Amino acid sequence: MNAATRLGLLVSMTFALALAPAMSVKSAGPTATLATPESFSSIGDTAARSAALFAEAGKVLTSARCVNCHPAGDRPLQTDAGRLHQPPVERGADGFGAVSARCSTCHQGANFDPAGMPGHAHWHLAPREMAWQGKTVGEICVQVKDPARNGGRTLAQIHDHMTNDSLVGWAWAPGYGRASAPGTQKELGALLDAWIKTGAVCPT
């Protein structure tokens, strides 16, 4: 580790430790539960049921755990309030941070709860075209279906990504002082599966 990297890590850890007293001792827990796909069976119109299923899944996509890494700008957001990342960092060309301040400098392979530092082996920002900040659930839905703005994925690949990707799964185990995403990753996957099977209609 070179001197610049060590300095960046020291600065980031200092900020994290300074914030730690204001945090809860443990994760704040889920902010909401998710309804099951079966609970929408009373909606007779298939298109309306499909849109309602995505609206329910949208509770996850619009949570801080997702939006913080899908920001509208080039700086990640942090905390349940979605404030700009401190210390200031940039997206970088590949989403893994600037050359002088890579995400992995501070965000290691797992959460480091003593300092309130979240972590994952592939910690990074979603591409700019996948920004969700400030968008409605309906707008996010249209974006999720658009291969030009979803990483070239099919609906089946979107479902697999959101259901099985471990970085997505971090949203339900965010560590020290952070509310997890609503429900569970498995429940999100079930909603998206039902949404796709009913025509993948977007809410308005």
Q: Is residue 102 part of a domain?
A: yes
Q: Which residues, other chains included, contact 67 with Cβ-Cβ below 8 Å and sequence gap of 6+?
A: 61, 77, 82, 132, 133
Q: Is residue 136 part of a domain?
A: yes
Q: pLDDT tens digits for 23-36?
A: 333 444 445 899 99
Return the pLDDT at 16. Answer: 42
* Under 8 Å between Cβ of 185 and 161: no
* Under 8 Å between Cβ of 97 and 105: yes
Q: Is residue 92 part of a domain?
A: yes
Q: Is the pLDDT of residue 78 over 80?
A: yes
For residue 124, give the nearest of 192, 161, 69 by alpha carbon.
69
Q: pLDDT tens digits for 100-147?
A: 999 999 999 999 999 999 999 999 999 999 999 999 999 999 999 999
Q: Is residue 91 part of a domain?
A: yes
Task: Quote the CA–CA distance of 145 and 168 in Å, as a whole number.
Answer: 18
Query: How far apart, in Å, do the first and last CA atoms of the chain sit?
Result: 50
Q: Is residue 130 part of a domain?
A: yes
Q: Is residue 133 part of a domain?
A: yes
- Overall domain count for the chain: 1
Q: What letters, b where the CB count within 10 A reaches 16 and e where it falls short, cover 133-163?
A: eebebeebbebbbeeeebeeeebeebbebbb
Give residue 81's domain range: 3-197
Q: Is residue 204 part of a domain?
A: no
For the record, the structure tokens of 169 come out as 């799964």
Q: Is residue 49 part of a domain?
A: yes
